[in-house]
Amino acid sequence: MQLTPEQEKALDLIRQKQFVLIHGVTGSGKTEIYLRAAQEVCAAGRQVIVLVPEISLTPQTVQRFAERFKIAALHSALTPKERRINRQKILRGEVQLAVGARSALFAPFPNLGLIIIDEEQDSSYKQDNNPRYHAVAAALQRAQFCGARVVLGTATPALETYHLFQNPPDDKYGYIYLPRRVENRPLPPVEIVDMRAELQNGNFSVLSARLQRELRACLDSGGKAMLLMNRRGFATFVSCRACGYTLECPRCSVALVYHSDGQAKCHYCGRAEKIPEQICPQCGRPYLKYFGAGTQKAEAELRKYFGDARILRMDSDTTTQRGAHEKILQEFLAADRAVLLGTQMIAKGHDFSAVTLVGIIAADALLNLPDFRSAEQTFQLLTQAAGRAGRGSQAGRVIVQTYQPEHYAVQAASRHDAPGFYAQELVVRRELNYPPFSRLTAIVFAAADEAQARKMAEHYARKYAPQALGPAPCIIRKLKGYYRWQILLKDTEINYADFPAEASVKIEIDVDPLNMY
Ligand SMILES: [Zn+2]
Ligand SMILES: [Zn+2]
């Protein structure tokens, strides 16, 4: 296969710089660049580690490496014996390349030459229990020690990674942007549907008239569709269906979360306000509504209107059993006309050439997460989901449903304008002093008795004032019988000795948290 001039440029950069970020649109041929870089390293007698977010979701990527290298695939479904055998092969250098999720980073190769991290922004690269580490930071360190190279690849880098490679500490860092797909395939047009207008037109369905029409056309022409549902349904935000207004904390600029006591609360600083009775403070109309889970409704409507097609659902409920992912994906591949409805896991990596329509049912469910990263995560998810459309010879189309069509994350994603989005988001982060311009530390206090958890959180909020935000209840306020409260610290060194291992209150400290608690 002939490389494009842009792929050649990226490969050259990898030869020159120790750490390279390949920021390439979906379909720009990043995997082929990884393969060539790995070949050069292996030819020099050194070994390669390839990290992918979830190995069960990326069988095609693994397959492409297996075709050209002697590989060891490291995944959680291996038996202890299989694990031992793999480890010995790696130690003796009998395999050239190990591919796996986060922990594959520690594969004990004798002469490691290259670490490749695909989809480097993926949250699965951060380990959320002890020892807490982020695979990207750990990879840069391991590479420093053994003189290996690191290649990070993604269509949507984490803002911290983007900022680091735009403002590198030394000349070991290289950045390249690949704005075009290979073989001159067009990026799919992204159409924004304003859900406020749907309401005005009397359509109360979760599927807009436009999306229904496109689904019908797609299925009738023998195509396949993917529909994305929101991923974290437990955070219930308050928003107006008529004008798109969303209740937000004026201090922290994150969405307020609705609580059953009738108050909307900020999960960063704890500020609480009474919710006006259904009346929207912005437009004065009675369409203020609580949004949260409820996308099961989408499945029911799909079955009602598109009963002639195979409707498949993929989320954490339908994939608890081993091999469930593969089974659903195979059914989707084999079906004649099919719709795959799922959470963000369907946006990752799949290369289905038959998918010609991608629909985002509720972009707002992401935009209104009570998290300062909500705009970044929305942009990433919309971009990745759009990337699933039109990868084959047939062109694709993307429909994004939202109550906030003018939001810059939605606008930038619809124009495939990553540089524009990152520039604007960095301005917002700098203004509010959020990462990458500050370091956050989350401290969670959990106890069976809520008053105890809260009291302890208050104690530490006072101790670390004025850098502490909170205390505030966690988004998941009660988990496994424990009530959870948290404080957030900006740019504060923690002295771990200040936190006694007290029996009645469990304390968790997370430096640079990726998801809010
Ligand atoms: Zn706040
Ligand atoms: Zn309104």
42 is in an annotated binding site: no
Q: Which amino acid is at 254?
A: V
Of 499, 511, 510, the C-alpha closest to 459 is 499
What kind of architecture, by CATH, is found in domain 185-232+293-429? 3-Layer(aba) Sandwich (3.40)
131, two tokens: 């020892």
* Ligand lying closest to the C-alpha of residue 240: 2
283 is in an annotated binding site: yes
What does DSSP assign to residue 53? S
243 is in an annotated binding site: yes
What kind of architecture, by CATH, is found in domain 440-511? 2-Layer Sandwich (3.30)
269 is in an annotated binding site: yes
245 C-alpha vs ligand 2 centroid, how far in Å?
5
153 C-alpha vs ligand 2 centroid, how far in Å?
41
φ, ψ at 399 (rounded to 5°): -125, 125
Q: Which amino acid is at 11?
A: L
For residue 258, what are the β-bridge partners?
A: 264
Whether 440-511 and 185-232+293-429 are alike in CATH topology: the answer is no
* Ligand lying closest to the C-alpha of residue 254: 1
- The DSSP result for 343-377, as a single string, is SGGGGSS---TTEEEEEES-THHHHTSSSTTHHHH
As a CATH number, domain 5-183 is: 3.40.50.300
364 C-alpha vs ligand 2 centroid, how far in Å?
15
249 is in an annotated binding site: yes
431 C-alpha vs ligand 1 centroid, how far in Å?
15
Q: Where are the domains of the chain?
A: 5-183, 185-232+293-429, 235-292, 440-511
132 C-alpha vs ligand 1 centroid, how far in Å?
26
242 C-alpha vs ligand 2 centroid, how far in Å?
5
Of 195, 272, 270, 202, the C-alpha closest to 240 is 195
* Ligand lying closest to the C-alpha of residue 472: 1
Q: Indicate the burial class of 272 (C-beta count within 10 angstroms; 0-12, 13-18, 19 or more).
A: middle
Q: β-pairing, 482-490 with 440-447?
A: antiparallel
253 C-alpha vs ligand 1 centroid, how far in Å?
7
291 C-alpha vs ligand 2 centroid, how far in Å?
14
For residue 288, what are the β-bridge partners?
A: 240
266 is in an annotated binding site: yes
252 is in an annotated binding site: yes
Reading the chain (517 residues) residue by residue, the pLDDT tens digits are: 789 999 999 999 999 999 999 999 988 999 999 999 999 999 999 999 999 987 766 777 888 999 999 999 988 778 899 999 999 999 998 999 999 999 899 999 999 999 999 999 998 898 877 778 899 999 999 999 999 999 999 999 999 999 999 999 999 999 999 999 998 888 899 999 999 898 888 887 889 999 999 999 999 988 899 998 765 444 577 888 888 888 888 878 788 887 767 788 888 888 888 877 778 888 888 887 776 545 566 788 899 999 889 999 887 667 777 778 778 888 998 888 999 988 777 776 566 778 889 999 888 878 887 789 999 999 998 998 888 887 766 778 999 999 899 999 999 999 999 999 999 999 999 998 899 999 999 999 999 999 999 999 999 999 998 888 889 888 777 777 788 999 999 888 888 888 877 668 999 888 888 776 7
251 C-alpha vs ligand 1 centroid, how far in Å?
5
φ, ψ at 442 (rounded to 5°): -100, 135
What does DSSP assign to residue 323? T
| 3-state SS class at 273 | strand
- Reported as a single tens digit per residue, the pLDDT across 377-434 is 999 989 988 888 877 667 789 999 998 999 999 999 999 999 999 999 999 999 988 9
333 C-alpha vs ligand 2 centroid, how far in Å?
42
218 is in an annotated binding site: no
